[in-house]
Structure 1
Amino acid sequence: MGNVQPTIVPYEQFDVTADIKALRQACKGLGTDEAAIVEILANRSAAQRTEIKQAYFEKYDDLEEVLRGELTGSFEKAIVAMLDPPHVYAAKQLRQAVQGVGTDEAVLVEILCTASNQVGQPGARAGEAMDQGGAGCELEADIEGDTSGDVRNLLIALLQAGREEGYEVDEDLAEQDAQSMFEAGEGRFGTDESTFTNVLAQRNYLQLQATFKVYEKLSGTDILDTITSEATGTLQDCYVTLVRCAKNPQLFFARRLNAAMKGAGTDEDTLIRIVVGRSEVDLETIKDMYLEKYDVTLKDALDSECGGDFKRLLMEILH
C-alpha cells in the first residue's frame, strides 16, 4: 500500500550470543535491569527476537517465563508480545477477542482486515497459525456462537482469508462492484448486506479504492455515508472499519491509537497491539498520519498517557 515505513528494522550488528548474555544478566540477582531489556528487544526485528528466544532456551531457560517472573503489568504484556512471531501474536489476539463473554468485533475486524500481504503484514499467516492444533476451527466456532446474522457472515468471510492479493486494479470490476453495491443499498428498499460483505471482504485494497471512486460518481454519495445510512450497530462499525482500512490503513491505525487514549483511562491492550504489531510494517507512517490528523506527535500523546517502563518501551519502539 504505497511507500510505508517501519520503525524497527533488523539490527545490523546483531549478535545473538551477546544478547542472551545481556538479558540473562538483566534478570539475575536482586532487581531487574528493565532498561537493558528494552534496549535489546525494542531494537531487534521479530525474526531476531525469535532467534534470541530460541538461543536463550537452549542455553539457559524459557525466556518468556523468565521475563513474566521479572516484569508486571502492561510492560510485561508488551515484552511478551514482542517474543512471538507476528503471525502467532496476531493469532493469539484473535483468540483473546472471542474468549469470555461476547466477542470484541472491533479487534477481530482490525486484525483480519489489516493482517494481509497487501500491507506487508506477516500476520497474513495468522489463519495458518490458528489452524495449528485446530485453533482456527475453534475461532470460527467461537465467532459462530457469539455473533449472529450479517455480522457473523462478515467475520467468517474475513476469517476465511479470501481477500485477493496483489495490486492489480480491474476498472471493469470496479464498475460492476460499485453498481452492485448501489443496487444493494441506495437503489432499493432495505439493504442486501451480503453484496457489501462479498465486495469488502474479498477485493484488494487498491481495487476497493477504485470501486469507492466509481461508487461516488454513480451515486453522488461517499461510500462511508451510504454505509452509515444503510447499516446499523456492530455491522455498521465493521463496514466502516473495512472501508477506512482500504482507503488508508495508516490513518485507520492513527484513529485507533487516538481512541485508545481518549477519555478516562487508557486502552493499553490496543496500544500494544498496534505499536508492537505495526512496528516492522508501517509504524513510522502511522506516526506521520497521527501528527497530520491530531496536530500532536504520537510520542507526545503516549507520553501523557503512559508511564514507567511501559512508556519507555513504547518510546523506544517508536524511535
Structure 2
Amino acid sequence: MGNVQPTIVPYEQFDVTADIKALRQACKGLGTDEAAIVEILANRSAAQRTEIKQAYFEKYDDELEEVLRGELTGSFEKAIVAMLDPPHVYAAKQLRQAVQGVGTDEAVLVEILCTASNQDIVSYKEAYAQLHECELEADIEGDTSGDVRNLLIALLQAGREEGYEVDEDLAEQDAQSMFEAGEGRFGTDESTFTNVLAQRNYLQLQATFKVYEKLSGTDILDTITSEATGTLQDCYVTLVRCAKNPQLFFARRLNAAMKGAGTDEDTLIRIVVGRSEQTIWKTQLYIEFHAKQDHKLVTGLKQQ
C-alpha cells in the first residue's frame, strides 16, 4: 500500500492565542497578508484549526470563515475555507453539493464514498445529518439509480471487513463467482461484483484479483471495463484501484485534474486538503508516477 504517514501532523509549538492574533493582523487594514494565513493554517492539524476557529470567535465575536471569505477570492478562498472544517465535515459538505440541485456530481460521490473506510462512512453520515437535517443514505438513494445506487447504498452500510487476514479459499470462491457473473455468462450480474468489492478487506481483494487473473487470463480491470459502463464502471475501477494501491489512485486523480487546458481546482482542493492528514502520496508518489510528465503541482506541494 506504500507509505501512509500523514503530511500534516499537530504543530508541536501550537499557541492558539498567538495564531488568532496573527490571523486577525493578517486581515486588518488595506490588503491581506495571504502568506501569514497560509503559514498558520497549512501547518496546523485539523483539530488545531478547529480550536483556532472557536478561539477566534470567542475573542473577536467574528466567524473566522466569514472574515477570510471577505478577504480572499477564487480557488485560494475555497482552499483556505476548506481547511477550517474537520475532514469528515468537509466531506459531508462535498457530498451534499454533489446531490443538490439539478443533476448529480457522481464523480464526487465515487471519489469520496468508494475510497472511504467504515469509520469514514459513519462519520460522514453523522456529520451530514447534523449539518443538513436529512440522511445521506436517503439523498443518495433519491439522486442515483440502478446498480450505481445499489453499490453506493452497500458502501454506506459500512460493512467492509477491515482486518488483514486473507482466506485463500474465499479468494477462490469470489474469483469464480466474479468470473461466472461477468465473462462466463451473457450479460453481467452486477450484484456479485458489488458484494465482493464492497465487503472484502483490501488484502483479501488483492488475493481475489490474482486468482481471477489466473482463472480467466484477464486482469480484473480489463474485465470491468468490458462488463460495466458509465458511473458503475467508475465505481468498480475506483474500488479495485484503492484495493491495489490507494496512493496511486489519488495520484491518477491529481494528474487528471491538471491535464489538458485548464485545471480542475475543486478536485485538487478536495484531495489535497481532505487527505493531508492521511498519506504522504502528495509529493512522493506524484513525482514517481509522473516522472516523465509535466509536474505542475510538485513545486507547490513541496512548499507545504
TM, length-normalised to structure 2:
0.88
Task: Provide the secondary structure at the position in 1 that maps to 2:198.
Answer: helix
Post-superposition shift, 1:300?
4.5
Q: State which drifts further: 181-190 or 163-172.
A: 163-172
- The structural deviation recorded for 1:115 is 2.4
Question: 1:195 offset after TM fit, Å?
Answer: 0.5
Whether the 8 Å CA contact 1:10–1:48 is kept in 2: the answer is yes
Asked if 2 retains the 8 angstrom alpha-carbon contact of 1:291 and 1:297, the reply is no
Q: CA deviation at 1:245?
A: 1.4
Q: CA shift at 1:152, angstroms?
A: 1.2
* Cα displacement string for residues 12-69 of structure 1 (whole angstroms, at most 9, x for unaligned residues): 1111111011111111122211110000000111111111111111111341111111
Rounded to whole Å, the distance in 1 between the matches of 2:156 and 2:239 is 13
Q: CA separation in 2, counterparts of 1:77 and 1:209?
A: 37
Distance in 2 between residues matched to 1:103 and 1:73, nearest whole Å: 23
Matched, 1:79 2:75: no
The alpha carbon displacement at 1:106 in A equals: 1.6
Deviations 1:99-132 (A, max 9, x none): 1222122211111122226xxxxxxxxxx22233
Q: Residue deviations 1:120-161, cap 9 Å, x none?
A: xxxxxxxx22233xxxx5433332233211111112112222
Q: How many angstroms does 1:239 deviate by?
A: 1.0
User: Identical aligned pairs, as a percentage?
Assistant: 94
User: Structure 1 residue 185: deviation in Å?
Assistant: 0.7
Q: Compare the two structures and name the one with the higher helix fraction.
A: 1
Q: Contact between 2:155 and 2:198, CA under 8 Å: does it hold in 1?
A: yes
Alignment CA distance shift 1:240-1:97 (3 Å): same
Instruction: Evaluate the alpha carbon distance shift between residue 318 and residue 273 of structure 1 in structure 2; reply closer, same or farther with a 3 A threshold.
Output: farther
- Cα distance in structure 1, aligned partners of 2:20 and 2:219: 53
Tell me, in whole angstroms, the C-alpha distance in 1 between the residues paired with 2:33 and 2:208: 53
Please report how far the alpha carbon of residue 91 of structure 1 lies from its aligned counterpart in structure 2 after TM superposition: 0.8
**Alignment deviations for residues 257-312 of structure 1 (CA, whole Å, 9 cap, x no partner):** 111111222111000001101111xxx9662222228474741488xxxxxxxxxx
Checking the alignment, whether the CA contact within 8 Å between 1:291 and 1:298 is kept in structure 2 is: no
Q: 1:261 to 1:16 in 2, by over 3 A?
A: same
Q: Within 5 A, what are the aligned runs for 1:226-305? A: 226-280=223-277, 287-292=283-288, 294=293, 296=295, 298-300=297-299
Q: Contact 1:182 / 1:215 at 8 angstroms: preserved in 2?
A: yes
Residue 6 of structure 1: CA displacement?
2.2
Moved more, 228-237 or 161-170: 161-170
Offset at residue 73 of structure 1 (A): 1.0
What's 1:16 paired with? 16
**3-state DSSP class of the match of 2:279?**
helix
Q: Say whether the 8 Å CA contact 1:98–1:139 is kept in structure 2.
A: no
Query: Could you list the runs of 5+ residues in structure 1 that have no partner in the other structure?
Result: 118-127, 303-316
Distance in 2 separating the partners of 1:163 and 1:94:
20
Question: How far apart are 1:169 and its partner, in Å?
Answer: 2.0
Q: What count of residue pairs does the alignment treat as equivalent?
A: 288
CA distance in structure 2 between the partners assigned to 1:247 and 1:301 by the alignment: 28
The 8 Å contact of residues 167 and 204 in structure 2, kept in 1 or not, is answered as: yes
Aligned mates of 2:199, 2:11 — CA distance in 1? 36
Shift of 1:178: 1.1
